[in-house]
Amino acid sequence: MSETIKYQLGDDGVAILTIDILDRSMNVLTPEFMADLDRAIDRVAADDAVRGAVVTSGKSSFIAGADLKELVGVFGENLDEHEIYKFAGKYSALYRKIETCGKPFAAAINGTALGGGLELALACHYRVVLDNPKAVIGQPEVKVGLLPGAGGTQRLPRLIGIRESLPLMLEGTHLKPTRAVELGICDELAGDIEDLMERSRRWILDTGDPVARWDKRGFKVPGGSGGMHPGVVQTFMAGNAMVAEKTQHNYPAPIAIMACVYEGTQLPIDKGLKIELQYFTKLLAGPVARNMIRTLFIDKGAADKLVRRPKDIPETRVEKLGILGAGMMGAGIAYVSAFSGQQVVLLDRSLEDAEKGKAYSRGLLEKRVARGRMTEEQAAAVLERITPATDYAELEGCDLVIEAVFEDRRIKADVTRKTEAVIPEASIFASNTSTLPITGLAEASTRPDQFIGIHFFSPVDKMPLVEVILGKATGEKAIAVALDYVRQIRKTPILVNDSRGFYTSRVFSTYVKEGMELLAEGVKPALIENAARMAGMPVGPLAVHDEVTIDLSYKIMMQTRKDLGDAYVPVAADEVVRHFQEDLERKGKRFGAGFYEYPRDGKKFLWPGLVEEYPPVDHQPSVGDVRKRLLYVQALETARCMEEGVVDEPADADVGSILGWGFPPWTGGTLSLIDTVGLSRFVEECEQLASRHGPRFSPPDWLRGRSTTR
């Protein structure tokens, strides 16, 4: 008896296979399901009373894809490539069994079909899809460092052509049902569930061809195949160039997809499936897929489910939120909060400034309306929830207040006292500071156990991460409210302990500083910026410093020197910041000039004067050496954060680094990079860097003494 598939045989001889995996909100390809599907195929094939079968779902979606947790389990078993080949081959063989069992199969796709779910539908001889506005169809495996490994790279091109199918797999594009029919991925569009099932059954009864088109004599790939075919040669030429540009060869999956399609479509389907399986095995055995699946899906998923939340505190919901400061950060926080349904009081020194903050939301909402992503009425409702204010009395009744004022202790202390004078005793107060320790800021509070850090990233509406920082006195209720609020606004939280710069700002600053260290050493600015992008960083260190502004770095540096006094240890990057701020008055993009020039009607470019200020040395380092310095310095600082207890969980460090400042996803995060390189090798290479470039590259004792457990 099947626990995942309901088998029903109608009087007309059509078997309905309804997939419904217990205890799962969406169907995924579990081992139990695959075993049940295998038995169901045998049952259909062996029963003369069965004319064919319709595969559908008992849930609102069809199949969401593979169970990524099972793949993580494969990593943990340390299987060799031969064992991984056998493991992965089960899926491909089972789908081929559907195709060649001698009975026609139709897929009645009632909702989302992704990855292995779409591959199952492609293995059926006919596909009918429900016109479900919430459904998406696609092959997103590339986003986890893999390729469609159960026939996707072979069946999709044979169905709709190479030129049309490659972008879908290389970009992991999600299609709406109507578009899937237009492209030919699905054969018919159904209006409702009854229509879906009727069309599927009718095809079995009226046509019921049990032979796939690519198994028929004389089949040719639509549009042609092979590197010399005039219809696809340009697709491969342009595709290879685009893949190289986008991946910088850090991500093997897109390259493997190109190779699978190129090689496999020139051969019969069975040989093509073997080629696909060989490439899939190499990807699954490699570090990039492991890193991306673990960090971006398993660890991120756990963070989204608030795995660090105190268990004994009842779930909370922020109904009214106060925001102090209507600048860029405050305005962004107001937008995402109002968008999630909260009443927001946006307070600033003048009503004009507060109104400007609200206008930021108006601009974002108008763009959504223009793009058809919401109605004017919906946009107006969001905007109505934001109340500009100057009087602290307006904060009465707020469940949570977030200050986003200047990085100045006196100002923050002043707004803390004024706020606590009017908000309820049970309210939580949070600071959006990016560098100042929470414990010190909480000294201005009369209820430090209800004081916490909630650090957003700019621009708030686009950046997915929120760093929640615990001061020494922060209580469990404050943690629970902060995490519940982050989930309410649909962002991913990480939990870190108090420290100067916390985790994200502290580690990110090493990247920016290393760029300036390289500049001060005489490394060419273009080499610094290009090597960073080739390593997978979204923006070079000099460009991103201009974005956050040299002016801000200067103020943070001066505040830190004041706080630490004689304990402050200056570095070469400090002098670069001082020189640009005081002598050159090039304070960053917002001020019109920094490491880059910002012409009004053109693209930014590196300031030519850099060559005069920092003359390049004759012997320039290699791209690989610059890449290594920029990545390793961040990984080392993360290790120090672990050693000092700033970060308790490696998963928070990895998720935070990728979502917070764009550390290359192929690495799995700053700590996963160390494991990818190998602990012993990483320590050895850091010691070599330390001997050449200084103690900032010296591995901490925590790193030297730890074993690779992740």
Catalytic residues: 455
- Report how far apart, in Å, the C-alpha atoms of 166 and of each of 23, 135, 233, 481 are: 35, 21, 13, 45
Q: Kindly list the strands in the beta sheet with 492-497, ordered across the sheet, starting from the edge strand earlier in the chain.
A: 386-389, 343-347, 320-324, 400-403, 428-431, 451-455, 465-470, 492-497
- Report how far apart, in Å, the C-alpha atoms of 649 and of each of 153, 535, 640, 652 are: 37, 25, 13, 5
Query: Are 174 and 137 a contacting pair, CB within 8 Å?
Result: yes
Query: Are 401 and 322 a contacting pair, CB within 8 Å?
Result: yes
- Between CA 515 and CA 463 the distance in angstroms is 23
Q: Which residues contact 1 (CB under 8 A, 6 or more apart)?
A: none
- Between CA 270 and CA 276 the distance in angstroms is 10
Tokens representing 223 are: 């549009």
Tokens representing 281 are: 């095995």
Burial label, 640 (beta-carbon count in 10 A; 0-12, 13-18, 19+): buried
Q: Which helix (H) or strand (E) holds 624?
A: helix 623-644
| Phi/psi of residue 113, nearest 5 degrees | -130, 105
Alpha helices in 662-700 (DSSP H): 670-677, 679-693
- The string of DSSP letters for 377-435 reads HHHHHHHHTEEEES-GGGGTT-SEEEE---S-HHHHHHHHHHHHTTS-TT-EEEE--SS
- Report how far apart, in Å, the C-alpha atoms of 564 and of each of 559, 561, 569 are: 9, 5, 9
Burial label, 93 (beta-carbon count in 10 A; 0-12, 13-18, 19+): middle
Q: Which helix (H) or strand (E) holds 578?
A: helix 572-578
- Between CA 54 and CA 203 the distance in angstroms is 10
Query: Are 683 and 707 a contacting pair, CB within 8 Å?
Result: no
- Between CA 18 and CA 23 the distance in angstroms is 16
- Between CA 685 and CA 699 the distance in angstroms is 10
Burial label, 274 (beta-carbon count in 10 A; 0-12, 13-18, 19+): middle
Instruction: Supply the DSSP symbol for 189.
Output: E
Say how many residues make up the chain: 710
Here the contacts of 18-25 (C-beta below 8 Å, separation 24 or greater) are 18/56, 18/57, 18/58, 19/55, 19/56, 19/57, 19/58, 19/59, 19/62, 19/63, 20/57, 20/58, 20/59, 25/59
- Between CA 278 and CA 601 the distance in angstroms is 50
Instruction: Supply the DSSP symbol for 297.
Output: I
Tokens representing 708 are: 């690779």
CB atoms within 10 A of CB 592: 12
Query: Are 282 and 81 a contacting pair, CB within 8 Å?
Result: yes
Residue 165 amino acid letter: S
- Between CA 74 and CA 284 the distance in angstroms is 9
